[in-house]
Protein backbone atom coordinates (compact mmCIF):
# COMPACT_ATOMS: atom_id res chain seq x y z
CA UNK A 1 0.00 0.00 0.00
CA UNK A 2 1.25 3.49 -0.80
CA UNK A 3 2.77 5.35 2.15
CA UNK A 4 1.90 8.73 0.67
CA UNK A 5 -1.84 8.19 0.31
CA UNK A 6 -3.97 6.21 2.74
CA UNK A 7 -7.05 4.26 1.59
CA UNK A 8 -10.33 6.17 1.67
CA UNK A 9 -12.66 5.81 4.64
CA UNK A 10 -15.88 6.64 2.74
CA UNK A 11 -16.58 5.04 -0.64
CA UNK A 12 -19.51 5.26 -3.02
CA UNK A 13 -20.34 2.59 -5.60
CA UNK A 14 -22.67 3.55 -8.44
CA UNK A 15 -24.45 0.63 -10.08
CA UNK A 16 -25.79 -2.30 -8.06
CA UNK A 17 -25.48 -5.07 -10.62
CA UNK A 18 -23.21 -8.08 -10.24
CA UNK A 19 -20.02 -6.05 -10.58
CA UNK A 20 -21.18 -3.09 -8.48
CA UNK A 21 -22.42 -5.25 -5.63
CA UNK A 22 -19.16 -7.22 -5.71
CA UNK A 23 -17.12 -4.02 -5.47
CA UNK A 24 -19.30 -2.83 -2.58
CA UNK A 25 -18.71 -6.17 -0.83
CA UNK A 26 -14.97 -5.52 -1.05
CA UNK A 27 -15.10 -1.83 -0.10
CA UNK A 28 -17.13 -2.26 3.08
CA UNK A 29 -14.37 -4.40 4.59
CA UNK A 30 -12.45 -1.24 5.43
CA UNK A 31 -14.62 1.78 4.60
CA UNK A 32 -18.11 3.15 5.10
CA UNK A 33 -19.71 2.17 1.78
CA UNK A 34 -22.77 3.57 0.02
CA UNK A 35 -24.30 1.63 -2.87
CA UNK A 36 -26.40 3.54 -5.41
CA UNK A 37 -28.66 2.44 -8.23
CA UNK A 38 -31.48 4.44 -9.85
CA UNK A 39 -33.71 1.34 -9.86
CA UNK A 40 -34.93 0.60 -6.28
CA UNK A 41 -35.38 -3.13 -6.92
CA UNK A 42 -31.86 -3.39 -8.36
CA UNK A 43 -30.48 -1.55 -5.33
CA UNK A 44 -32.16 -3.97 -2.93
CA UNK A 45 -30.88 -6.97 -4.87
CA UNK A 46 -27.38 -5.52 -4.92
CA UNK A 47 -27.32 -4.92 -1.17
CA UNK A 48 -28.61 -8.43 -0.55
CA UNK A 49 -26.03 -9.95 -2.90
CA UNK A 50 -23.17 -8.10 -1.21
CA UNK A 51 -24.27 -9.11 2.30
CA UNK A 52 -24.79 -12.72 1.27
CA UNK A 53 -21.31 -12.63 -0.23
CA UNK A 54 -19.87 -11.59 3.13
CA UNK A 55 -21.71 -14.44 4.82
CA UNK A 56 -20.27 -16.90 2.28
CA UNK A 57 -16.76 -15.56 2.89
CA UNK A 58 -17.19 -16.14 6.63
CA UNK A 59 -18.49 -19.66 6.00
CA UNK A 60 -15.46 -20.45 3.85
CA UNK A 61 -13.11 -19.00 6.44
CA UNK A 62 -11.67 -16.36 4.11
CA UNK A 63 -13.11 -13.69 6.41
CA UNK A 64 -13.77 -14.03 10.13
CA UNK A 65 -17.37 -13.83 11.31
CA UNK A 66 -16.55 -10.68 13.26
CA UNK A 67 -15.01 -8.96 10.23
CA UNK A 68 -17.89 -10.03 8.01
CA UNK A 69 -20.43 -8.66 10.48
CA UNK A 70 -18.60 -5.34 10.88
CA UNK A 71 -18.25 -5.06 7.09
CA UNK A 72 -21.98 -5.63 6.61
CA UNK A 73 -22.68 -2.92 9.18
CA UNK A 74 -20.64 -0.44 7.09
CA UNK A 75 -22.67 -1.13 3.92
CA UNK A 76 -25.72 1.08 3.28
CA UNK A 77 -27.96 2.22 0.46
CA UNK A 78 -27.28 5.68 -0.95
CA UNK A 79 -30.60 7.34 -0.14
CA UNK A 80 -32.39 9.34 -1.27
CA UNK A 81 -30.03 9.38 -4.29
CA UNK A 82 -26.67 10.51 -5.62
CA UNK A 83 -26.64 13.40 -3.14
CA UNK A 84 -25.89 10.84 -0.42
CA UNK A 85 -22.40 10.45 -1.96
CA UNK A 86 -21.44 14.06 -1.24
CA UNK A 87 -18.91 13.19 1.48
CA UNK A 88 -17.24 10.28 -0.31
CA UNK A 89 -13.50 10.33 -0.91
CA UNK A 90 -13.76 7.78 -3.73
CA UNK A 91 -16.70 6.92 -5.99
CA UNK A 92 -16.44 3.85 -8.20
CA UNK A 93 -18.80 3.74 -11.17
CA UNK A 94 -20.03 0.30 -12.32
CA UNK A 95 -22.72 1.35 -14.80
CA UNK A 96 -23.44 -0.42 -18.13
CA UNK A 97 -20.60 -0.36 -20.66
CA UNK A 98 -21.92 2.57 -22.71
CA UNK A 99 -19.88 5.77 -23.03
CA UNK A 100 -22.94 8.06 -23.09
CA UNK A 101 -24.28 6.64 -19.81
CA UNK A 102 -20.89 6.87 -18.11
CA UNK A 103 -20.17 10.43 -19.25
CA UNK A 104 -23.61 11.62 -18.16
CA UNK A 105 -23.15 9.95 -14.79
CA UNK A 106 -19.74 11.53 -14.22
CA UNK A 107 -21.11 14.96 -15.06
CA UNK A 108 -23.87 14.45 -12.46
CA UNK A 109 -21.41 13.20 -9.84
CA UNK A 110 -19.26 16.30 -10.27
CA UNK A 111 -22.22 18.41 -9.15
CA UNK A 112 -22.53 16.35 -5.95
CA UNK A 113 -19.08 15.38 -4.65
CA UNK A 114 -16.26 17.64 -3.51
CA UNK A 115 -13.41 18.65 -5.81
CA UNK A 116 -11.09 16.33 -3.87
CA UNK A 117 -13.22 13.22 -4.46
CA UNK A 118 -11.59 10.74 -6.83
CA UNK A 119 -13.91 9.29 -9.47
CA UNK A 120 -13.09 5.81 -10.80
CA UNK A 121 -14.70 4.03 -13.73
CA UNK A 122 -14.82 0.24 -13.79
CA UNK A 123 -14.89 0.14 -17.59
CA UNK A 124 -13.12 -2.82 -19.13
CA UNK A 125 -12.67 -1.33 -22.59
CA UNK A 126 -13.84 2.28 -22.93
CA UNK A 127 -11.11 4.97 -22.93
CA UNK A 128 -10.78 6.50 -19.45
CA UNK A 129 -9.67 9.80 -20.99
CA UNK A 130 -12.93 10.08 -22.93
CA UNK A 131 -15.03 9.44 -19.82
CA UNK A 132 -12.95 11.93 -17.83
CA UNK A 133 -13.69 14.66 -20.38
CA UNK A 134 -17.25 14.88 -19.00
CA UNK A 135 -15.97 15.65 -15.48
CA UNK A 136 -14.98 18.94 -13.95
CA UNK A 137 -11.37 18.50 -12.86
CA UNK A 138 -10.69 15.47 -15.12
CA UNK A 139 -7.39 14.99 -13.30
CA UNK A 140 -9.32 13.23 -10.52
CA UNK A 141 -10.70 10.54 -12.85
CA UNK A 142 -9.00 7.14 -13.12
CA UNK A 143 -9.94 3.64 -14.18
CA UNK A 144 -10.34 0.82 -11.68
CA UNK A 145 -10.90 -2.32 -13.72
CA UNK A 146 -12.12 -5.16 -11.51
CA UNK A 147 -12.34 -8.67 -12.94
CA UNK A 148 -15.48 -10.76 -12.68
CA UNK A 149 -16.40 -11.99 -10.09
CA UNK A 150 -14.88 -9.07 -8.21
CA UNK A 151 -14.83 -10.66 -4.72
CA UNK A 152 -12.94 -13.72 -6.00
CA UNK A 153 -10.56 -12.41 -8.64
CA UNK A 154 -7.29 -11.26 -7.15
CA UNK A 155 -6.51 -8.41 -9.53
CA UNK A 156 -7.40 -4.75 -10.06
CA UNK A 157 -6.06 -2.62 -12.90
CA UNK A 158 -5.63 1.07 -12.09
CA UNK A 159 -5.64 3.00 -15.35
CA UNK A 160 -4.24 6.49 -15.77
CA UNK A 161 -6.02 8.72 -18.25
CA UNK A 162 -4.10 11.45 -20.03
CA UNK A 163 -4.93 14.01 -17.31
CA UNK A 164 -5.18 11.72 -14.25
CA UNK A 165 -3.26 13.11 -11.28
CA UNK A 166 -0.74 11.08 -9.31
CA UNK A 167 -2.86 11.61 -6.18
CA UNK A 168 -5.92 10.07 -7.85
CA UNK A 169 -3.88 7.11 -9.06
CA UNK A 170 -2.35 6.61 -5.60
CA UNK A 171 -5.73 6.76 -3.85
CA UNK A 172 -7.22 4.19 -6.24
CA UNK A 173 -4.14 1.99 -5.78
CA UNK A 174 -4.42 2.22 -1.98
CA UNK A 175 -8.13 1.34 -2.13
CA UNK A 176 -7.42 -1.70 -4.31
CA UNK A 177 -4.77 -2.98 -1.92
CA UNK A 178 -7.07 -2.41 1.07
CA UNK A 179 -9.56 -4.67 -0.72
CA UNK A 180 -6.92 -7.40 -0.67
CA UNK A 181 -6.15 -7.19 -4.38
CA UNK A 182 -2.92 -7.21 -6.34
CA UNK A 183 -2.94 -3.83 -8.07
CA UNK A 184 -1.27 -3.27 -11.41
CA UNK A 185 -1.00 0.03 -13.24
CA UNK A 186 -1.67 0.74 -16.87
CA UNK A 187 -1.88 3.74 -19.14
CA UNK A 188 -5.07 4.45 -21.07
CA UNK A 189 -5.53 2.70 -24.39
CA UNK A 190 -7.58 -0.07 -26.04
CA UNK A 191 -8.08 -2.86 -23.53
CA UNK A 192 -5.69 -1.23 -21.05
CA UNK A 193 -3.13 -3.88 -20.08
CA UNK A 194 -4.69 -7.30 -19.44
CA UNK A 195 -7.39 -7.42 -22.11
CA UNK A 196 -5.03 -5.93 -24.66
CA UNK A 197 -2.25 -8.44 -23.98
CA UNK A 198 -4.72 -11.32 -24.28
CA UNK A 199 -5.96 -10.33 -27.75
CA UNK A 200 -3.94 -12.98 -29.62
CA UNK A 201 -5.39 -15.87 -27.60
CA UNK A 202 -8.64 -15.88 -29.57
CA UNK A 203 -7.55 -13.94 -32.65
CA UNK A 204 -4.69 -16.33 -33.45
CA UNK A 205 -6.98 -19.27 -32.69
CA UNK A 206 -9.43 -17.91 -35.25
CA UNK A 207 -6.60 -17.42 -37.77
CA UNK A 208 -5.48 -21.03 -37.29
CA UNK A 209 -9.06 -22.16 -37.80
CA UNK A 210 -9.47 -20.02 -40.93
CA UNK A 211 -6.26 -21.51 -42.37
CA UNK A 212 -7.49 -25.02 -41.45
CA UNK A 213 -4.34 -25.73 -39.48
CA UNK A 214 -6.57 -27.48 -36.93
CA UNK A 215 -10.24 -27.65 -35.99
CA UNK A 216 -11.91 -26.00 -33.00
CA UNK A 217 -11.65 -29.04 -30.75
CA UNK A 218 -7.99 -29.68 -31.58
CA UNK A 219 -6.95 -26.07 -31.01
CA UNK A 220 -8.64 -26.02 -27.61
CA UNK A 221 -7.23 -29.43 -26.69
CA UNK A 222 -3.71 -28.36 -27.61
CA UNK A 223 -4.02 -25.22 -25.49
CA UNK A 224 -5.19 -27.25 -22.49
CA UNK A 225 -2.87 -30.24 -22.68
CA UNK A 226 0.26 -28.68 -24.13
CA UNK A 227 -0.06 -25.18 -22.73
CA UNK A 228 -1.80 -25.75 -19.40
CA UNK A 229 -4.64 -23.29 -20.08
CA UNK A 230 -7.86 -24.02 -18.24
CA UNK A 231 -9.82 -23.47 -21.44
CA UNK A 232 -8.94 -23.14 -25.07
CA UNK A 233 -9.82 -19.94 -26.96
CA UNK A 234 -13.09 -21.29 -28.35
CA UNK A 235 -14.35 -22.67 -25.05
CA UNK A 236 -13.55 -19.31 -23.47
CA UNK A 237 -15.30 -17.48 -26.31
CA UNK A 238 -18.46 -19.52 -25.72
CA UNK A 239 -18.31 -18.78 -22.00
CA UNK A 240 -17.86 -15.02 -22.41
CA UNK A 241 -20.30 -14.83 -25.31
CA UNK A 242 -19.28 -15.05 -28.96
CA UNK A 243 -21.21 -11.87 -29.73
CA UNK A 244 -19.67 -10.02 -26.79
CA UNK A 245 -16.20 -11.05 -27.90
CA UNK A 246 -16.89 -9.87 -31.44
CA UNK A 247 -18.07 -6.47 -30.19
CA UNK A 248 -14.83 -6.16 -28.22
CA UNK A 249 -12.79 -7.12 -31.30
CA UNK A 250 -14.47 -4.46 -33.39
CA UNK A 251 -13.95 -1.90 -30.64
CA UNK A 252 -10.23 -2.68 -30.44
CA UNK A 253 -9.83 -2.40 -34.19
CA UNK A 254 -11.70 0.89 -34.38
CA UNK A 255 -9.98 2.47 -31.37
CA UNK A 256 -6.56 1.54 -32.77
CA UNK A 257 -7.39 2.98 -36.22
CA UNK A 258 -6.97 -0.38 -37.87
CA UNK A 259 -4.05 -2.07 -36.09
CA UNK A 260 -3.44 -5.26 -38.17
CA UNK A 261 -2.70 -7.36 -35.08
CA UNK A 262 -6.25 -6.67 -33.86
CA UNK A 263 -8.19 -7.16 -37.10
CA UNK A 264 -11.46 -9.01 -36.38
CA UNK A 265 -12.05 -12.38 -38.00
CA UNK A 266 -14.64 -13.01 -40.69
CA UNK A 267 -15.28 -16.41 -39.08
CA UNK A 268 -16.16 -14.62 -35.83
CA UNK A 269 -18.59 -12.33 -37.69
CA UNK A 270 -20.20 -15.31 -39.40
CA UNK A 271 -20.70 -17.09 -36.09
CA UNK A 272 -22.43 -14.04 -34.63
CA UNK A 273 -24.62 -13.59 -37.72
CA UNK A 274 -25.78 -17.19 -37.32
CA UNK A 275 -26.89 -16.50 -33.75
CA UNK A 276 -24.34 -18.96 -32.34
CA UNK A 277 -23.40 -16.77 -29.40
CA UNK A 278 -22.15 -19.41 -26.98
CA UNK A 279 -23.38 -21.09 -23.84
CA UNK A 280 -26.14 -18.57 -23.25
CA UNK A 281 -27.67 -19.54 -26.63
CA UNK A 282 -27.08 -23.27 -26.22
CA UNK A 283 -24.72 -23.26 -29.20
CA UNK A 284 -21.56 -21.46 -30.11
CA UNK A 285 -18.33 -23.04 -31.23
CA UNK A 286 -19.64 -26.06 -29.29
CA UNK A 287 -23.13 -27.50 -28.86
CA UNK A 288 -24.42 -27.33 -25.25
CA UNK A 289 -27.96 -28.57 -25.87
CA UNK A 290 -27.38 -32.22 -25.02
CA UNK A 291 -27.26 -33.77 -21.58
CA UNK A 292 -23.59 -34.73 -21.77
CA UNK A 293 -20.49 -32.58 -21.76
CA UNK A 294 -19.82 -30.40 -24.78
CA UNK A 295 -16.56 -32.31 -25.33
CA UNK A 296 -15.58 -35.89 -24.46
CA UNK A 297 -13.30 -36.49 -21.49
CA UNK A 298 -9.59 -36.57 -22.27
CA UNK A 299 -8.08 -40.08 -22.38
CA UNK A 300 -5.18 -40.93 -20.14
CA UNK A 301 -1.75 -39.98 -21.44
CA UNK A 302 0.27 -42.81 -22.99
CA UNK A 303 2.30 -44.74 -20.44
CA UNK A 304 6.03 -44.10 -20.93
CA UNK A 305 7.51 -47.24 -22.44
CA UNK A 306 10.91 -48.49 -23.63
CA UNK A 307 11.57 -47.96 -27.33
CA UNK A 308 10.44 -50.63 -29.75
CA UNK A 309 12.91 -53.20 -30.96
CA UNK A 310 15.29 -51.67 -33.47
CA UNK A 311 14.34 -48.13 -32.49
CA UNK A 312 16.55 -47.60 -29.45
CA UNK A 313 18.97 -45.06 -30.98
CA UNK A 314 17.93 -41.45 -31.52
CA UNK A 315 20.06 -38.53 -32.61
CA UNK A 316 19.00 -35.19 -31.13
CA UNK A 317 20.66 -32.11 -32.59
CA UNK A 318 20.47 -28.59 -31.26
CA UNK A 319 21.75 -26.44 -28.43
CA UNK A 320 18.55 -24.90 -27.12
CA UNK A 321 16.48 -25.61 -24.04
CA UNK A 322 14.07 -27.88 -25.90
CA UNK A 323 16.87 -30.03 -27.33
CA UNK A 324 18.32 -30.50 -23.85
CA UNK A 325 14.91 -31.40 -22.42
CA UNK A 326 14.31 -33.92 -25.20
CA UNK A 327 17.68 -35.56 -24.57
CA UNK A 328 16.91 -35.95 -20.87
CA UNK A 329 13.37 -37.24 -21.48
CA UNK A 330 14.51 -39.70 -24.16
CA UNK A 331 17.31 -41.05 -21.98
CA UNK A 332 14.90 -41.47 -19.07
CA UNK A 333 12.56 -43.44 -21.36
CA UNK A 334 15.35 -45.87 -22.29
CA UNK A 335 16.60 -44.46 -25.58
CA UNK A 336 20.29 -44.36 -26.44
CA UNK A 337 20.65 -40.66 -27.17
CA UNK A 338 23.44 -39.52 -29.44
CA UNK A 339 24.57 -36.18 -30.77
CA UNK A 340 25.26 -35.63 -34.46
CA UNK A 341 28.99 -35.42 -33.80
CA UNK A 342 29.18 -38.90 -32.26
CA UNK A 343 30.41 -41.74 -34.51
CA UNK A 344 27.68 -44.08 -35.68
CA UNK A 345 29.80 -47.25 -36.14
CA UNK A 346 27.52 -48.12 -39.02
CA UNK A 347 24.38 -48.16 -36.88
CA UNK A 348 21.44 -46.32 -38.36
CA UNK A 349 19.45 -44.29 -35.81
CA UNK A 350 15.74 -44.88 -35.56
CA UNK A 351 15.09 -41.13 -35.68
CA UNK A 352 17.07 -37.94 -36.20
CA UNK A 353 15.45 -35.07 -34.27
CA UNK A 354 16.58 -31.68 -35.53
CA UNK A 355 15.94 -28.85 -33.04
CA UNK A 356 18.23 -26.28 -34.64
CA UNK A 357 16.83 -25.64 -38.11
CA UNK A 358 17.22 -21.95 -38.84
CA UNK A 359 16.84 -19.49 -41.66
CA UNK A 360 19.19 -16.63 -42.42
CA UNK A 361 17.15 -14.16 -40.30
CA UNK A 362 17.57 -16.15 -37.11
CA UNK A 363 20.59 -15.34 -34.87
CA UNK A 364 23.38 -17.79 -35.68
CA UNK A 365 24.75 -20.23 -33.11
CA UNK A 366 28.20 -19.87 -31.54
CA UNK A 367 31.08 -20.96 -33.78
CA UNK A 368 31.82 -24.04 -31.66
CA UNK A 369 28.62 -25.58 -33.00
CA UNK A 370 29.96 -25.66 -36.56
CA UNK A 371 31.15 -29.27 -36.31
CA UNK A 372 27.80 -30.35 -34.87
CA UNK A 373 25.99 -28.65 -37.75
CA UNK A 374 28.21 -30.34 -40.34
CA UNK A 375 27.61 -33.70 -38.67
CA UNK A 376 23.88 -33.00 -38.64
CA UNK A 377 23.91 -32.52 -42.39
CA UNK A 378 25.74 -35.84 -42.73
CA UNK A 379 22.99 -37.48 -40.69
CA UNK A 380 20.43 -35.75 -42.89
CA UNK A 381 22.04 -37.32 -45.95
CA UNK A 382 21.86 -40.76 -44.32
CA UNK A 383 18.22 -40.03 -43.43
CA UNK A 384 17.49 -39.98 -47.14
CA UNK A 385 18.66 -43.60 -47.21
CA UNK A 386 16.48 -44.83 -44.41
CA UNK A 387 16.96 -42.94 -41.13
CA UNK A 388 13.86 -40.74 -40.79
CA UNK A 389 14.05 -37.13 -39.68
CA UNK A 390 11.88 -35.08 -37.35
CA UNK A 391 12.32 -31.30 -37.67
CA UNK A 392 11.38 -28.57 -35.19
CA UNK A 393 9.04 -26.17 -37.01
CA UNK A 394 10.10 -22.92 -35.36
CA UNK A 395 12.20 -21.04 -37.91
CA UNK A 396 9.84 -22.08 -40.67
CA UNK A 397 7.18 -24.52 -41.75
CA UNK A 398 8.20 -28.10 -42.45
CA UNK A 399 7.80 -27.42 -46.18
CA UNK A 400 10.26 -24.51 -45.92
CA UNK A 401 12.79 -26.34 -43.75
CA UNK A 402 12.69 -29.68 -45.58
CA UNK A 403 11.76 -28.73 -49.11
CA UNK A 404 11.26 -31.89 -51.11
CA UNK A 405 12.31 -34.06 -48.18
CA UNK A 406 10.63 -36.92 -46.36
CA UNK A 407 10.83 -35.60 -42.80
CA UNK A 408 8.01 -35.12 -40.32
CA UNK A 409 7.74 -31.93 -38.27
CA UNK A 410 7.00 -31.12 -34.66
CA UNK A 411 6.65 -28.26 -32.22
CA UNK A 412 6.08 -28.09 -28.50
CA UNK A 413 6.01 -25.01 -26.31
CA UNK A 414 8.28 -25.70 -23.37
CA UNK A 415 9.09 -26.45 -20.73
CA UNK A 416 8.67 -30.01 -21.95
CA UNK A 417 8.16 -31.37 -18.44
CA UNK A 418 4.81 -29.58 -18.14
CA UNK A 419 3.62 -30.18 -21.70
CA UNK A 420 1.28 -33.16 -21.89
CA UNK A 421 0.99 -33.01 -25.67
CA UNK A 422 3.31 -32.57 -28.66
CA UNK A 423 2.12 -31.35 -32.05
CA UNK A 424 3.20 -33.17 -35.19
CA UNK A 425 2.87 -32.21 -38.84
CA UNK A 426 3.64 -33.63 -42.26
CA UNK A 427 3.81 -32.59 -45.89
CA UNK A 428 2.88 -34.54 -49.00
CA UNK A 429 6.48 -35.77 -49.08
CA UNK A 430 6.67 -37.00 -45.48
CA UNK A 431 7.47 -40.68 -45.39
CA UNK A 432 5.09 -42.97 -43.49
CA UNK A 433 8.12 -44.25 -41.56
CA UNK A 434 9.06 -40.76 -40.33
CA UNK A 435 5.47 -40.08 -39.29
CA UNK A 436 5.09 -43.39 -37.47
CA UNK A 437 8.41 -43.14 -35.64
CA UNK A 438 7.79 -39.54 -34.65
CA UNK A 439 4.49 -40.50 -33.08
CA UNK A 440 5.94 -43.57 -31.33
CA UNK A 441 8.85 -41.50 -30.01
CA UNK A 442 6.67 -38.95 -28.22
CA UNK A 443 4.19 -41.56 -27.02
CA UNK A 444 7.12 -43.45 -25.52
CA UNK A 445 7.92 -40.24 -23.63
CA UNK A 446 4.38 -40.33 -22.19
CA UNK A 447 2.97 -37.51 -24.32
CA UNK A 448 -0.25 -37.18 -26.26
CA UNK A 449 0.29 -36.28 -29.90
CA UNK A 450 -1.91 -34.25 -32.21
CA UNK A 451 -1.42 -34.01 -35.97
CA UNK A 452 -2.03 -30.56 -37.42
CA UNK A 453 -1.39 -28.86 -40.75
CA UNK A 454 2.02 -27.39 -41.51
CA UNK A 455 3.01 -23.86 -40.52
CA UNK A 456 5.71 -22.15 -38.42
CA UNK A 457 5.10 -22.77 -34.71
CA UNK A 458 2.13 -25.04 -35.49
CA UNK A 459 -0.80 -24.23 -33.11
CA UNK A 460 0.34 -23.39 -29.59
CA UNK A 461 3.63 -21.98 -30.81
CA UNK A 462 1.77 -19.40 -32.88
CA UNK A 463 -0.62 -18.51 -30.07
CA UNK A 464 2.01 -18.22 -27.33
CA UNK A 465 4.55 -16.37 -29.50
CA UNK A 466 1.85 -13.88 -30.46
CA UNK A 467 0.95 -13.45 -26.76
CA UNK A 468 4.61 -12.78 -25.94
CA UNK A 469 4.82 -10.38 -28.88
CA UNK A 470 1.73 -8.40 -27.85
CA UNK A 471 3.06 -8.12 -24.30
CA UNK A 472 6.39 -6.92 -25.73
CA UNK A 473 4.54 -4.22 -27.71
CA UNK A 474 2.71 -3.12 -24.54
CA UNK A 475 5.94 -3.06 -22.56
CA UNK A 476 7.75 -1.08 -25.22
CA UNK A 477 4.92 1.44 -25.44
CA UNK A 478 4.95 2.02 -21.68
CA UNK A 479 1.46 0.62 -21.09
CA UNK A 480 2.71 -1.32 -18.07
CA UNK A 481 5.78 -2.86 -16.47
CA UNK A 482 6.94 -6.41 -17.20
CA UNK A 483 5.91 -7.55 -13.72
CA UNK A 484 2.48 -5.90 -13.99
CA UNK A 485 1.92 -7.49 -17.40
CA UNK A 486 2.68 -10.99 -16.14
CA UNK A 487 0.78 -10.48 -12.86
CA UNK A 488 -2.19 -9.27 -14.85
CA UNK A 489 -2.30 -12.30 -17.13
CA UNK A 490 -1.81 -14.71 -14.23
CA UNK A 491 -4.27 -13.17 -11.78
CA UNK A 492 -6.75 -11.51 -14.12
CA UNK A 493 -7.09 -14.25 -16.73
CA UNK A 494 -5.72 -17.38 -15.01
CA UNK A 495 -3.03 -17.93 -17.62
CA UNK A 496 -0.71 -20.83 -16.73
CA UNK A 497 2.34 -18.53 -16.88
CA UNK A 498 3.06 -14.87 -17.34
CA UNK A 499 3.73 -14.49 -21.10
CA UNK A 500 6.96 -12.52 -20.68
CA UNK A 501 8.42 -15.04 -18.23
CA UNK A 502 7.18 -17.81 -20.55
CA UNK A 503 9.00 -16.17 -23.45
CA UNK A 504 12.17 -16.10 -21.36
CA UNK A 505 11.67 -19.80 -20.62
CA UNK A 506 11.13 -20.74 -24.27
CA UNK A 507 13.96 -18.49 -25.45
CA UNK A 508 13.28 -15.13 -27.03
CA UNK A 509 15.34 -16.15 -30.06
CA UNK A 510 12.91 -19.06 -30.52
CA UNK A 511 9.91 -16.71 -30.19
CA UNK A 512 11.42 -14.30 -32.71
CA UNK A 513 12.22 -17.15 -35.10
CA UNK A 514 8.56 -18.24 -35.15
CA UNK A 515 7.32 -14.69 -35.72
CA UNK A 516 9.85 -13.95 -38.45
CA UNK A 517 9.01 -17.24 -40.16
CA UNK A 518 5.30 -16.41 -40.07
CA UNK A 519 6.06 -13.01 -41.55
CA UNK A 520 8.31 -14.53 -44.23
CA UNK A 521 5.73 -17.14 -45.24
CA UNK A 522 2.52 -15.15 -44.71
CA UNK A 523 3.55 -11.51 -45.37
CA UNK A 524 0.94 -10.29 -42.89
CA UNK A 525 1.56 -7.28 -40.65
CA UNK A 526 -0.01 -9.08 -37.71
CA UNK A 527 3.24 -11.06 -37.44
CA UNK A 528 5.68 -8.16 -37.28
CA UNK A 529 7.88 -8.53 -34.22
CA UNK A 530 7.71 -5.95 -31.44
CA UNK A 531 10.78 -3.67 -31.45
CA UNK A 532 11.45 -4.49 -27.78
CA UNK A 533 11.51 -8.23 -28.53
CA UNK A 534 13.89 -7.86 -31.46
CA UNK A 535 16.16 -5.51 -29.52
CA UNK A 536 16.49 -7.98 -26.64
CA UNK A 537 17.48 -10.78 -29.01
CA UNK A 538 20.02 -8.57 -30.79
CA UNK A 539 21.52 -7.71 -27.40
CA UNK A 540 21.84 -11.40 -26.55
CA UNK A 541 19.19 -11.13 -23.83
CA UNK A 542 17.39 -14.24 -25.02
CA UNK A 543 15.91 -15.43 -21.73
CA UNK A 544 16.72 -17.67 -18.80
CA UNK A 545 19.56 -19.56 -20.48
CA UNK A 546 21.26 -16.21 -21.15
CA UNK A 547 20.37 -15.05 -17.59
CA UNK A 548 18.57 -12.04 -19.02
CA UNK A 549 15.50 -11.44 -21.15
CA UNK A 550 12.42 -9.49 -20.16
CA UNK A 551 13.58 -10.27 -16.60
CA UNK A 552 16.98 -10.78 -14.97
CA UNK A 553 18.03 -14.21 -13.65
CA UNK A 554 20.80 -15.13 -11.25
CA UNK A 555 21.31 -18.40 -13.09
CA UNK A 556 19.83 -20.32 -16.00
CA UNK A 557 17.90 -22.43 -13.49
CA UNK A 558 16.47 -19.42 -11.58
Confidence band for 345, pLDDT divided at 50, 70 and 90? low
pLDDT digits (tens, 9 = 90+) for 27-68: 999 999 999 999 999 999 999 999 999 999 999 999 999 999
The answer for residues whose C-beta is within 8 angstroms of residue 71's C-beta and 6 or more apart is 25, 28, 29, 54, 63
Confidence of residue 290 (pLDDT cuts 50, 70, 90): confident
17-25: average pLDDT = 96
pLDDT of the residue at 192: 95
Q: What is the pLDDT of residue 94?
A: 95
Select from 75, 89, 87 the least CA-distant residue to 35: 75
The predicted pLDDT at position 3 comes to 57
CB atoms within 10 A of CB 412: 24
pTM equals 0.91
Instruction: Check pLDDT > 90 for residue 310.
Output: no
pLDDT for 373 beyond 60: no
Average pLDDT over residues 175-188: 97
- Whether the bond between 80 and the residue before it is cis, its omega within 30 degrees of 0, is yes
List Cα–Cα distances, 434 to 308, 336, 348, in angstroms.
Answer: 15, 18, 14
- Averaged pLDDT for residues 237-253: 94
Alpha-carbon span 216 to 286, nearest angstrom: 9
The structural domains of the chain, ordered by start, are 10-188 (3.40.50.720), 196-281 (1.10.1040.50), 313-446 (3.40.50), 460-546 (1.10.1040.10)
pLDDT at residue 384 tops 80: no
pLDDT tens digits, 430-482 = 999 999 999 999 999 999 999 999 999 999 999 999 999 999 999 999 999 99
Angle CA(150)–CA(235)–CA(56) in degrees, nearest 5? 30
Does the structure show a pLDDT above 90 at 515?
yes
Q: Mean pLDDT throughout 339-364?
A: 69
Give 185's pLDDT tier (boundaries 50, 70, 90).
very high
Question: Does the structure show a pLDDT above 80 at 540?
Answer: yes
**Residues sharing a CB contact under 8 Å with residue 126, sequence separation 6 or more, in sequence order:** 97, 99, 102
For the chain, the straight-line distance linking the first and the last C-alpha, in angstroms and rounded, comes to 28
Q: Give the percent of the chain with pLDDT over 70.
A: 93
Q: In what order do the strands lie in the sheet with 141-146?
A: 75-77, 32-36, 10-14, 90-93, 118-121, 141-146, 155-160, 182-187
Rounded CA separation 327/544 (Å): 19
Confidence of residue 125 (pLDDT cuts 50, 70, 90): confident
Q: Which residues are catalytic?
A: 124, 145, 157, 195
Residue 557: what pLDDT? 64
Cα 340 versus chain centre, distance: 37
Q: What is the mean pLDDT of residues 147-176?
A: 96
Helix (H) or strand (E) holding 20, with range, is helix 18-27
How far is 60 from 63, CA to CA, in rounded Å?
8
As a whole number of angstroms, the distance between CA 522 and CA 208 comes to 12
Average model confidence (pLDDT) across the chain:
92
Amino acid sequence: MSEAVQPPTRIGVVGAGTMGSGIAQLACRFAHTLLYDPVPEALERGLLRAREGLVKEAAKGTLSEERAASAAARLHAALPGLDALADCELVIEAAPERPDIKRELFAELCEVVSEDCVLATNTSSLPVTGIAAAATHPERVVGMHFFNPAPLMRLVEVIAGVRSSERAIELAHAAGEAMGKTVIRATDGPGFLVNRCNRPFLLEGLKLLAEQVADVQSIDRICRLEGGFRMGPFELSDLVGVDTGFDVSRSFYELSFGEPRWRPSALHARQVAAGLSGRKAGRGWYDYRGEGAHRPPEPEAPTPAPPASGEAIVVIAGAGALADELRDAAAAAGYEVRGPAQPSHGELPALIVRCDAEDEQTPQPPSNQGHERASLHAHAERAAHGAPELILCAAGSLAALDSGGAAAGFHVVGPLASAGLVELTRTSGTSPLAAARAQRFFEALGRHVCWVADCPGLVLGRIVCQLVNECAFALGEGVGSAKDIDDGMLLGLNHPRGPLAWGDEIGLDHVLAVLDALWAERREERYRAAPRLRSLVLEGRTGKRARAGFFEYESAAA
